[in-house]
Amino acid sequence: MKRFICLLLAGLLCTSLAGCAKTYRGTQALVQKAREEIPIAEADTIELAYAGMSVRGEQALAWFISGNAYQAHYYLPMEVTCKGEDQYTYVRTYKTADDVLDIAVLHWNDGYAFCVNNPACVCVRITDAAGVYEREIAPGAHPYVFYWPSQLTSYEFLDAGGDTLGTS
């Protein structure tokens, strides 16, 4: 009987702790969490910047960029749950494909999340079942983060002359 009561109490304790995820307040707190999650050797010393957030309901991808102008960049999308104004709980991180264009794309939450950090990219041309759309990026708006809430047929990254920087 004692054993049953101990197991019951242990189960109740585990159940009560399951809903106690840490809440991060503000993007600076998320930067510190990203430092813990980023899979690079210099995680505690490398420059790490918050790039923006792709939001879909209560779920969001907080994008982080490591490195500076003289280093290669690593793009870390970190999924969080929005718990209130500027309050988040960590869910998990993702790995994007290696992008030499300083552009990262992630198929996420039934759509696509983009982080465009290439100043030469002034437009993202998106093709889905409903048609072709162009998402223009203003000068100085990089890194530019956005979410496209549908399945894509293709996407292209265009420079000021309309030439393709890269495609899917």
**Three-class SS of residue 32?**
helix
The per-residue pLDDT for 97 is 74
pLDDT at 10 over 70: no
Mean pLDDT, rounded, of the chain: 85
Other C-beta atoms closer than 10 Å to the C-beta of 97 total: 8
Q: Where is pLDDT greater, at 47 or 17? A: 47
pLDDT at 61 over 90: yes
Q: What is the pLDDT of residues 98-121, one digit of tens each?
A: 666 899 999 999 999 999 999 999
pLDDT at 137 over 90: yes
Structure tokens at 41: 């050797």
10, containing H or E segment: helix 2-18
- Which conformational region is residue 38 in: left (phi greater than 0), alpha (psi within -120 to 50 degrees), or beta? beta
135, containing H or E segment: strand 131-136
Least confident of 62-66, 76-80, 82-86: 82-86
The per-residue pLDDT for 3 is 57
Q: Report the C-alpha gap between 108 and 130 in whole angstroms.
A: 19
The per-residue pLDDT for 114 is 95
The per-residue pLDDT for 21 is 80
